[in-house]
Amino acid sequence: MIKVTKRSRIEDVANRWRRQYPELSDDKKPLFSVREGHQKQPKSALKIYRELCILDLSTATEDDVAEIIGNPSWTRLECECCESHVDSLLIIKSYNDSGVLICGDCLNLAVIAYSK
């Protein structure tokens, strides 16, 4: 089991971006169009990566990351049980998948249900 927080998602965003887009060679080709009111203009994957790398990880916010990437999905945490957006959750790994994302409230409900 792994606990994930919004802060840990922010702190690891450049590494996760690099894994998602391993070939960052063309700084001229826009990766995204302007979406959700975050980006002012389209950016390439390389430009986004460079901007993520210079973030002050101790003070960067979700909005800072969304402004760079163009959407809030890289820091958003959503419980797969109640579908709420939360500040932290637990990833419960299983044998054949990437795991279940569960918030503290749902985890407590699961413990109660299991104890009956």
Q: Are residues 40 and 52 in the same domain?
A: yes
Phi, psi (rounded to 5 degrees) for 66: -65, -35
What is the pLDDT averaged over residues 86-110?
90
Same-domain pairing of 63 and 13:
yes
Mean pLDDT of the chain: 86
Mean pLDDT of 41-67: 89
Are 51 and 98 members of one domain? no
76-88: per-residue pLDDT in tens?
999 999 999 999 9
* Whether residue 50 sits in one domain with residue 90: no
Structural domain contains residue 36: yes
Higher pLDDT, 37 or 16: 16
> Residue 45 has what pLDDT?
83
In a shared domain, residues 60 and 24: yes
Domain extent, residue 85, equals: 77-116
Count of domains observed in the chain: 2
Same domain, 87 and 67: no
Stated pTM of the model: 0.79
Please state, in angstroms and rounded to a whole number, the distance separating the CA atoms of residues 22 and 33.
20
